[in-house]
Structure 1
Amino acid sequence: MKKYFLLIALAGLSACNTGYHLTNRTANRIGVDSVTAPADSGVANFLKPYRQGLDKTMNEVLTRSTGRIEKGQPEGPLNDLLTDALLQQASQRYGKPIDCAHLNYGGIRNNLPEGNITTGSIFEVMPFDNQLVVLTVTGTMMQQLLNHFADGNKLVIGGLRAKIHEGKVQSVQFTNGRTLQPNETYTVAMSDYVAEGGDNAGFLKNPVKRENINYLIRDALIDYFRQQGKTGQPINPLSDGRISIE
């Protein structure tokens, strides 16, 4: 595939003389390919060890799956798997239990394959360098978070079960046994992108507390899948019904 650079010739224009003005412009396409710009063997040899190291890292098999793991709305096996992974890894890093974990649906950029799941697979799912942060929020803000993402069936959550009616969350049951009460506080592991108001979640900019745990979401997922691989048991892609529509 050729890549093109746009060459623009501007006639009669001078940045130094304000009395001039643009009178004409022309454009030509200059094709750049392996013929016009052959590979530099010296550069290729210089980069070879770095490329080999990158390939080795990206091709590391972390675990296996018995089937393709896909995201979905209002729920999908990948939604559940990723948020459960984040909840586990965030709690370990945080040093104490966290109530739930959240991911923005649009931030999940790919599905996971059947068979080998490699480091490269995780990079395809989560290519962004988003940090995992822990927010402490009131029950009222937690309800607002759930409602915000439930509207449009984009609620991707781990650590709780929710029923949605007409775009609003009507009931919440945390897997740790807690119930959602307006005046109580809850901890949520999530992307710094959402915590800073991404996905129109500006209401999260003023939580009770925000704690950065210096852990990339992608690294948390890689660590989780590597741990799963060490168990010798493949992943079975299933949804557990945590999100239901009434």
Structure 2
Amino acid sequence: MHTFIPLKTLSFILGPLLLYSCSSNYHLVKSNRTEYAVTKEVKADSSIIRTYQPYKLKLDSQMNVILGYSENLLEKKMTGGESVLGDFFSDAALAEARKTDPQIDFTMPSTNGGLRNDLPSGAITLANVFQLMPFENELIVFEIKGTEVQSLLDYIARTGGQPVSGLKMKIVAGKPAAVIINGQPFDQTKNYHVLTSDYIAGGADGISCFKKPVASKVLNLKIRDALISYIKETQARGEKISTKLDGRITHD
């Protein structure tokens, strides 16, 4: 069945709309789309280079500053349940955060996917640290129940190991076992102070154990700044970064 609208009614509805649409001084009459491939064949624009070159030189001079030195390559490649880079990253975050909150029991400051670049053997520059941690992630301490810690341990075991410090455990058949936190056997009836990032706390990778904490404390410390400070302080002591795998997470 068809419904017909009287012409007078249609004019009454469309009239104001047509009048409004005609009130503009501009009308789109044609639209074209063109793609420009950016390849090696595209020649550099010298005028653009001259514009940004002074800023690039200044930035390079800052980013190429040497913060310290490492005795070995700090790589993200996993061996068992840990990586040299993950161990360094977590140890640095925990050491710097404990200056503000010495009650911290352990940390998982990042997931393996959050470690973006290896750190080289030899000189470590500011640029190296920015490449490793390009994000503005903040460190936060959460006091959570032992049952929530168990959930985090289950996640670490289920994913084959994650960057941690202050924590030792075995992964047996995909489950956490022989867990030691801050030098003591894990007790699910206790509350623990856990250091992590705002990204993980927000539910990254389905982690939900920080959603309802007993308490929380924002340290006003970015992870990148913690890494920079840790490297500088090691250098100031006349030492080099010398992180080695220590079996903090193993597979049985």
Pairwise same-fold verdict (TM > 0.5)? yes
Residue matched to 1:13: none
User: What residue identity is the alignment partner of 1:62?
Assistant: L
Unpaired segments ≥5 residues, structure 1: 1-15, 18-23
Deviation at 1:134, TM superposition (A): 0.6
Counterpart CA distance in 2 for 1:72 and 1:153 is 13
TM-score (norm 1): 0.81
CA displacement, residues 88-145 of structure 1 (integer Å, 9 cap, x when unaligned): 1011133x23111112111000111011011111111111111111111111111110
Residue matched to 1:241: 247
Q: Secondary structure at the match of 1:93?
A: coil
Contact 1:67 1:236 (8 Å CA) reproduced: yes
Residue matched to 2:58: 53
Larger fraction in strand: 1
Residue matched to 1:164: 171
Counterpart CA distance in 2 for 1:42 and 1:61 is 27
Number of corresponding residues: 219
Counterpart CA distance in 1 for 2:153 and 2:47 is 52
Deviation at 1:178, TM superposition (A): 2.7
Q: Secondary structure at the match of 1:145?
A: helix
Residue matched to 1:222: 228
| Superposition map of 1:69-80 within 5 A | 69-73=74-78, 74-80=81-87
Q: Secondary structure at the match of 2:103?
A: coil
Unpaired segments ≥5 residues, structure 2: 1-20, 23-29
Deviation at 1:210, TM superposition (A): 1.8
Contact 1:59 1:120 (8 Å CA) reproduced: yes
Which stretches of structure 1, 4 residues or more, deviate above 4 A after TM superposition? Answer: 24-27
Instruction: Decide which of 101, 125, 128 is 2:135's aligned counterpart.
Output: 128
Counterpart CA distance in 2 for 1:54 and 1:194 is 30
Contact 1:140 1:181 (8 Å CA) reproduced: no
Deviation at 1:205, TM superposition (A): 1.2
CA displacement, residues 190-242 of structure 1 (integer Å, 9 cap, x when unaligned): 11000111111123211111211111101111110111111222222410111
Q: Identical aligned pairs, as a percentage? A: 34
Counterpart CA distance in 1 for 2:62 and 2:103 is 31
Contact 1:68 1:237 (8 Å CA) reproduced: no
Residue matched to 2:207: 201
